[in-house]
Structure 1
Amino acid sequence: MINVGLYYRVKKGHEEEFEKSFQGVVNFLKGFHGFVDAKLYKRVDDPQEYLIYSEWDSLETFKKFVSSKEYKDTTGYGKSILEGIPKHRILQEING
């Protein structure tokens, strides 16, 4: 299992649009093999900053998603409503 944190800063006035777009991506991912779950978080003291926290069954599955047409379409669209370059962090569960 891996977890991916995707950090975004949204242009002022596009927060609701970003949130609706996230829901559309999650609806698509529900049918994507290997996707487990995703949650959207908004920073309390800066409502233009977001974190998408997603869970995947493996790194390979996540890589397959980021190479998909749907991912490329979403990131292409996102450039119009985002400030700066998003940051992504991939974390892997350690079995003790």
Structure 2
Amino acid sequence: MINVGFYYRVKKGHEKEFEQTFSSVLEYLKSSYPGFRDAKLYRSVTDPQEYLIYSEWDDLDTFRKFISSQAYRDTTSYGKNILEGRPTHRVLQLVE
């Protein structure tokens, strides 16, 4: 299993829209994307425009397939309207 942290800064006034979009994408991934396990949305306590999506995937290949999918491209294209700057992500794996 791997975890991926997506870091976003949302334009002021678009916070609820971002949260609702996250919920829609989460439902899509759960119902339509094998290898996706779950995700949680976190909001900064000091800056309400900063968010983290912490996601769980079966493996790195599954995640890579997702980020090369049309669904991912559509979501990132839409995000350009409500995000400040470019989001970043980090892939993490449990060390045993």
Normalization by structure 2: what TM-score?
Answer: 0.97
Correspondence for 2:80: 79
What's the CA shift string for 1:38-69, capped at 9, x where partnerless?
A: 00000011000000000000000000111111
**2:46 alignment partner AA:** D
Distance in 1 of aligned mates of 2:94 and 2:2: 6
Correspondence for 2:26: 26
- Structure 1: 5+ residue stretches without partners: none
Distance in 1 of aligned mates of 2:26 and 2:87: 18
What's the CA shift string for 1:19-45, capped at 9, x where partnerless?
A: 000001101100210001100000011
Shift of 1:93: 1.6
Shift of 1:94: 1.9
The alignment-based identity, stated in percent, is: 67
Equivalent position SS for 1:85 = coil
Alignment of 1:22-61 (within 5 A): 22-31=22-31, 32-61=33-62
Moved over 3 A (4+): none
Root-mean-square deviation over aligned CA pairs = 0.6
Normalization by structure 1: what TM-score?
Answer: 0.97
Equivalent position SS for 2:55 = strand
- Structure 2: 5+ residue stretches without partners: none
Equivalent position SS for 1:4 = strand
Correspondence for 2:9: 9
**1:25 alignment partner AA:** V
